[in-house]
């Protein structure tokens, strides 16, 4: 299935049904189809050929996401650009991808101006919501008079190029094919509850997980309600108003949702699944979320290179047969999905038995086609016939996957491996802690010193010594932080995910805490 196939499948179930809804109204499936044909025709008129990469630089916006289907209908490759990246990183990615066209929102015109002169292959630039400056046409002017693209199914293969950071500091491009996204969509539909036409509320960026989750929703003719900015009060209001059935939030936003004063007064009875993922979640907060939001929490684990569905834990898996919370599974990332094979290996690539920690590796049609124009990185990630995730974890005797840490976040303190995610779970169990980040900083005695930076819950006072004692009682003195710092808030992405690299950089700038 090409990307347009999800749109066309939804349209076949009712062309007048709402497809993309934003603050200014809805576009029906039929309207998105017609718009995508116009975009495809305009791209072809501008010289974009099948297989050419076309970038979209936008905040969450129905028009920008509708344009993705025009790119796909032209047989071109969608390149979602992260608007939070620095200009230099986006220039490097667009150059790596070889983009010939860029569709962007007016608010990002300064970023475009900063990079366009160094991208000679970028010959078509279009402003999606007005004049972009620099002589770039507005969307409607660019579309005027262009022939409509046809509904011919484009050839299969590469459909998305996703930028991702690398351990070398240079960004890489993840090559995702129609087969990768078809596998992801099939796994989504078979792993979670979907009854009737779904309504999906997209708060997180459509350039990331929230975007690819739209495709299985569209295959069912569902409505996608697009939030231009991440506001939890608005999230609750829209969830009630639109009778939202599905949504995705990273754990830190779930924590903030639990602290929101409007949560308990909001009608969330239509929710079938509130996905969480992208980071481990506190078992205590997870139990609270199930109690207050409902038995609708569904976990997913994946990464850009194997999107979303390496393992899953459906809402029903969060409960025992008697309906009580299955806390024994709350620290798990779920079970490997039916179309993926998951194993754990040591540094030499040897398979490890149940219970032993090592790197999580994956096989199957979910795994990317490789890194774009980077055979060395591709070979490294796919050595010995497995995709290497860079995550440390283990499988238990019943096949449940447990993630312990990112390999790059493991702290070596006093000769012992300390897994920051494990320490964070212990810190988050403290009743006065809202959120935290655990990092290692250089230390003459320990090699690396474990430092926990904690954010208190509203109205709570935190004593660092008390937090240290609390954590030590749970995980022992070796893993417990040597230092606890209390910050009013933590550096975050625009969707609330804690940026641990920024935390560590601030500590180092301040003299190692």
Most confident residue range from 207-211, 280-284, 348-352? 348-352
Mean pLDDT of the 407-417 span = 81
**pLDDT tens per residue across span 285-339:** 999 999 999 999 999 999 999 999 999 999 999 999 999 999 999 999 999 999 9
Q: How far is Cα 298 from Cα 308, in angstroms, rounded to an integer?
A: 12
Q: Which residues contact 498 (CB under 8 A, 6 or more apart)?
A: 252, 279, 435, 436, 437, 490, 491, 492
**pLDDT tens per residue across span 188-215:** 999 999 999 999 999 988 887 788 999 9
Task: Return the closest-CA partner of residue 381 out of 303, 496, 449, 467.
Answer: 303
Cβ 114 vs Cβ 106: under 8 Å: no
Q: What pLDDT was estimated at residue 1? A: 80
**pLDDT tens per residue across span 109-161:** 999 999 999 999 999 999 999 876 678 999 999 999 988 877 766 667 999 99
CATH H-level superfamily of 414-509: ANL, C-terminal domain (3.30.300.30)
In the chain, domain spans = 3-13+26-175, 414-509
Q: Is 149 helix (H, G, I), strand (E, B) or coil?
A: coil
Fold of 3-13+26-175: Rossmann fold (3.40.50)
Q: What pLDDT was estimated at residue 513? A: 46
Q: What pTM was computed for the model? A: 0.88
**H/E stretch holding 109:** helix 109-115
């Amino acid at each position: 299935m090409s990307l347009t196939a999800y749109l066309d499948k939804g349209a076949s179930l009712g062309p007048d049904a709402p497809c993309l809804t934003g603050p200014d109204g809805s576009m029906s499936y039929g309207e998105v189809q017609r718009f995508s044909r116009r975009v495809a025709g305009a791209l072809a008129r501008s010289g974009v050929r099948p297989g050419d990469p076309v970038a979209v630089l936008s905040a969450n916006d129905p028009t920008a996401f509708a344009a993705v289907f025009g790119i796909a209908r032209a047989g071109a490759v969608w390149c979602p650009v992260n608007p939070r990246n620095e200009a230099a990183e986006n220039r490097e990615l667009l150059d790596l991808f070889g983009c010939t066209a860029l569709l962007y929102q007016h608010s990002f015109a300064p970023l475009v101006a900063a990079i366009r002169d160094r991208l000679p292959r970028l010959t078509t630039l279009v402003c999606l919501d007005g004049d972009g400056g620099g002589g770039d046409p507005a969307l409607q002017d660019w579309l005027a008079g262009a022939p409509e693209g046809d509904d011919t199914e484009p050839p299969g293969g590469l459909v998305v190029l996703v930028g991702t950071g690398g351990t070398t500091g240079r960004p890489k491009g993840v090559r995702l094919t129609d087969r990768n996204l078809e596998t992801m969509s099939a796994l989504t539909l078979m792993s979670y509850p979907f009854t009737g036409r779904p309504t999906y509320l997209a708060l997180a960026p459509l350039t990331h997980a929230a975007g690819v989750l739209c495709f299985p929703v569209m295959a069912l003719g569902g409505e996608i309600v697009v939030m231009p900015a991440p506001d939890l009060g608005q999230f609750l209001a829209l969830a009630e108003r639109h009778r939202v059935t599905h949504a995705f939030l990273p754990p830190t936003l779930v924590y903030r949702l639990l602290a929101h004063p409007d949560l308990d007064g909001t009608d969330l009875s239509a929710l079938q699944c509130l996905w969480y993922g992208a980071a481990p979640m506190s078992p205590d907060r997870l139990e609270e979320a199930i109690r207050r939001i409902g038995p609708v929490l569904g976990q997913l684990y994946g990464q850009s290179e194997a999107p979303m569905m390496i393992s899953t834990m459906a809402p029903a898996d969060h409960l025992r047969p008697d309906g009580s919370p299955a806390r024994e599974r709350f620290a798990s990332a779920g079970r490997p999905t039916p179309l993926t094979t998951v194993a754990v290996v040591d540094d030499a690539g040897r398979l490890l038995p149940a219970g032993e920690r090592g790197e999580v590796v994956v096989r199957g049609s979910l795994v990317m086609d490789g890194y774009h124009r980077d055979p060395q990185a591709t070979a490294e990630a796919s050595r010995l016939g497995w995709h290497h995730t860079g995550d440390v974890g283990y499988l238990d005797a019943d096949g449940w996957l447990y993630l312990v840490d990112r390999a790059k976040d493991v702290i070596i303190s006093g000769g012992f491996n300390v897994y920051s995610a494990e320490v964070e779970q212990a810190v988050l169990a403290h009743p006065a802690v809202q959120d935290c980040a655990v990092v290692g900083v250089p230390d003459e005695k320990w090699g690396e010193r474990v430092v926990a930076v904690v954010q208190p819950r509203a109205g709570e006072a935190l004593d660092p010594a008390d937090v240290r004692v609390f954590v030590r009682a749970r995980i022992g003195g070796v893993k417990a932080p040597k230092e606890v710092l209390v910050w009013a808030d933590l550096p975050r992405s625009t969707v609330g995910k804690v940026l641990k690299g920024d935390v560590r950089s601030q500590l180092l700038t301040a003299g190692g805490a």
